[in-house]
A and B are shown apart, each in its own frame.
Chain A
């Protein structure tokens, strides 16, 4: 089946640090990739949608200068949390799609001290 690899799985860093999360579709080309954020015991909140080679579309309330998304190829998208602060601590999940269904990475738990 289709596999989405997300790296790293766990990050702990100091406040003010920028953190990059990678999302790769390993055995398929993803025309569209999505980034979600999940708070404890809550559902997934869509942050942004990105198509290869074009700018990401951010959901309302998501700061595009804070959460930089690059979709450089059909198999790679990155999310950079710039100047992270404790309130950015969360579980971030990427997803990739070409046709149906959408496939998800295993998530990145980000903890900002």
Chain B
């Protein structure tokens, strides 16, 4: 069965500093990995995905993530955080079949001015 772990409920970072939101996964076979962001009372917005190819994936709003197969990780990063990045971030995984996404529990990011 597929699973996703986001070990941090909350991440606090000062504006302008780099940020990292952690994610590890478990899946049979090759993973499809995703990051989504959720603002209050809104649905999920797609940030980036890894399907195949380069391990470093660049996405929306300056975010990037690195796929590490040996560590089964897909951490989300941004070189310089903005206050407007404050939101709830979800990591998700699925296998290559037509299966639904499995989500982590989410990590709340707070960027402090």
Contact = CB atoms under 8 A, between A and B. Distances in A.
Interface stretch (B15-23, B45-53, B64-72, B73-81): B45-53
Interface stretch (A41-49, A61-69, A74-82): A41-49
Looking at B32, B44, B98, the one whose CB has the most chain A CB atoms below 10 A away is B44
Interface of A: 1, 4, 6, 32, 34, 42-44, 46, 49, 91, 93, 95, 100-107, 109
Contacts of A106: 42-43
B85 to A, nearest CB: 19
A65 to B, nearest CB: 21
A106 B49 CA distance: 20
Given A43-B90, A101-B46, 15 more contacts: A4-B43, A34-B100, A42-B106, A43-B103, A43-B106, A44-B44, A44-B103, A49-B100, A101-B49, A102-B34, A104-B43, A104-B46, A105-B43, A106-B43, A107-B43
Interface residues of B, number: 19
A44 B101 CA distance: 10
Contacts of A107: 41-43
Contacts of A42: 105-106
26 contacts: A4-B43, A6-B43, A34-B100, A42-B105, A43-B103, A43-B104, A43-B105, A44-B44, A44-B103, A46-B100, A49-B100, A93-B43, A95-B44, A95-B101, A100-B49, A100-B51, A101-B34, A101-B46, A102-B34, A104-B44, A104-B45, A104-B46, A105-B43, A107-B41, A107-B42, A109-B41
